[in-house]
Chain A
Amino acid sequence: MMSLLLDGLIVVALVGLAIQAITGQSLFRGIINFIVFGLTMALAWARIGAPDLAMAEAAIGAGLTGALMMVAYRRLVADEDGHVPTPPRQKSRLAIPIAVGSGLLVGVIGLGALLSDNPPGEAGQLVLETLPEYGLGNAITGVLLLFRGLDTLLEIAVLFTALLAARAVAGTGDSSATARTRHPETPLIGALLAVVIPLTILVAVHLLRAGTYETGGAFQAGAVLAAAGVLLVLSGRVSRTPSAGPLVRLGVLAGLSAFILVGLAPLLYGEALLTLPGMWSIYLIETAMMVSIAVTLILLFADAGGLRRERRG
């Protein structure tokens, strides 16, 4: 009974925060609402028994995206002297009917799904049965790498493409501007970094290793590492350079190339594409993906520091 109330409150909070975030009273309020929405979403994932998703949501949705939006706000919206221009208020008359219509659609579909009998989940059953053969304990890692490896490969490719696109846009910006916080020489920040960065690296490596049998995996580990990198960028310890050095480029490409190479290799032996030969290949791919995801996210964030607002007129 108490948990029902809790779940109900989470749902109400989610809807309320979402509405608040986009009804545009003031941009900064919308940003805070969005961040809190991400946090509440992480709680919702935890409630329905998906700790992997809660981890990813907390690290990326609330942490990275929140920081990214604040930096973009600083660069694009607020002037140098602190004056925030009025956002143009254009509410379409279709807004409310569309919102209500979408809500009804989701409600009808959800109701239909709840009322119908559960179809026998064959794929899920198969996954859970064959998982021990490969020595894996975490069904999510199994699905991501073994059973639906092509999806993951394409996702890494998408991430890479996004980085290229972002670099193309932000590369035209102010190269001397960074995402650095004010007073980066504050001793407290140094103390924070001294404790948090090593801890984060430890946790990331643990998550990478633990992904085979419990919550974790390449994506979570990469997101955690990326957050550490973002901390370094924000505190000015790592700055953005107009063109990335060779090591950085290697990091970005590592995940994609490792996955492609290991995936193509079975063709030489007459096996199907992407049949992974063993645990070592899983570790290799996961490590490479972790590095790539982390470097890509850090680069995406650091580039935001170079955004520049178009001066009109």
Chain B
Amino acid sequence: MSLQDALALIFLLAGCAFYLAGTVGLLRFPDVFCRLHALTKADNVGLGLVCVGLAILNGQPRVASMLLLIWLVGLLAATVSAHLIARHAHEREAPQDQELPRR
């Protein structure tokens, strides 16, 4: 396995780890704000790492800039979505920050 493949694989696996973290956060965090937090941050970093891995694997600069564009627009969309959803949820319920999750 060449160095290029190995490096790409590392980035892809790191991306997977972040996606997993995001999903775990979605399922285990106590209220909607924490879940939103986990989801938007972890998933988008995961997407970025996957994009880097694929860019390394592919090697063409044209493809790499396309992947960068996709990630940046994805960041923008996630930012706006998270803000809107959080605002919507905030207007309707108080966050349950008094309770800690039981272990």
A interface list, Cβ under 8 A from B: 181-183, 186, 188-189, 191-192, 195-196, 199
Contacts of B80 in A (CB 8 A): 188-189, 191-192
Contact of B76 among A183, A186, A195 (CB under 8 A): A195
B24 within 8 A of A: no
Given A186-B83, A189-B80, are A195 and B88 also a contact pair (CB < 8 Å)? no
- Complex A-B: 23 CB contacts under 8 Å: A181-B84, A182-B88, A183-B87, A186-B83, A186-B84, A186-B87, A188-B79, A188-B80, A188-B83, A188-B84, A189-B80, A189-B84, A191-B76, A191-B80, A192-B76, A192-B77, A192-B80, A195-B73, A195-B76, A196-B73, A196-B76, A196-B77, A199-B73
Contacts of B77 in A (CB 8 A): 192, 196
Contacts of A195 in B (CB 8 A): 73, 76
Contacts of B79 in A (CB 8 A): 188
List 6 tightest A-B contacts by C-beta distance, closest first. A192-B80, A188-B80, A188-B83, A195-B76, A192-B76, A189-B80
Main secondary structure of the interface of B (DSSP, over half): helix
Assembly CA distance A186 to B76 (angstroms): 14
Return A285 CB to nearest CB of chain B, in Å.
29
Q: How many residues of B contact A (CB 8 A)?
A: 9
B:49-103 near A, CB below 8 Å: 73, 76-77, 79-80, 83-84, 87-88
Contacts of A191 in B (CB 8 A): 76, 80
Contacts of A183 in B (CB 8 A): 87
B69 nearest in chain A by CB position: A199
Return A63 CB to nearest CB of chain B, in Å.
12
Return A9 CB to nearest CB of chain B, in Å.
15
B72 nearest in chain A by CB position: A195
With A188-B79, A189-B84, A192-B77 known, 4 other A-B pairs at CB within 8 A are: A181-B84, A186-B83, A191-B76, A192-B76
Return B98 CB to nearest CB of chain A, in Å.
24
Assembly CA distance A195 to B83 (angstroms): 17
B:25-44 near A, CB below 8 Å: none
Assembly CA distance A199 to B76 (angstroms): 13
Q: Which of B73, B84, B88 has the most CB of A within 10 A?
A: B84
Return B62 CB to nearest CB of chain A, in Å.
14
Contacts of A196 in B (CB 8 A): 73, 76-77
Assembly CA distance A182 to B84 (angstroms): 9
Return B80 CB to nearest CB of chain A, in Å.
5
Assembly CA distance A196 to B77 (angstroms): 9
Contacts of A199 in B (CB 8 A): 73
A82 nearest in chain B by CB position: B92
Return B42 CB to nearest CB of chain A, in Å.
19
Assembly CA distance A181 to B87 (angstroms): 12
Assembly CA distance A121 to B26 (angstroms): 49
Return A215 CB to nearest CB of chain B, in Å.
14
Return B88 CB to nearest CB of chain A, in Å.
7
Assembly CA distance A181 to B84 (angstroms): 10
Contacts of B76 in A (CB 8 A): 191-192, 195-196
Assembly CA distance A183 to B84 (angstroms): 9
A182 nearest in chain B by CB position: B88
Assembly CA distance A120 to B16 (angstroms): 44
Assembly CA distance A199 to B73 (angstroms): 10
Return A309 CB to nearest CB of chain B, in Å.
22
Return A78 CB to nearest CB of chain B, in Å.
13
Contacts of A189 in B (CB 8 A): 80, 84
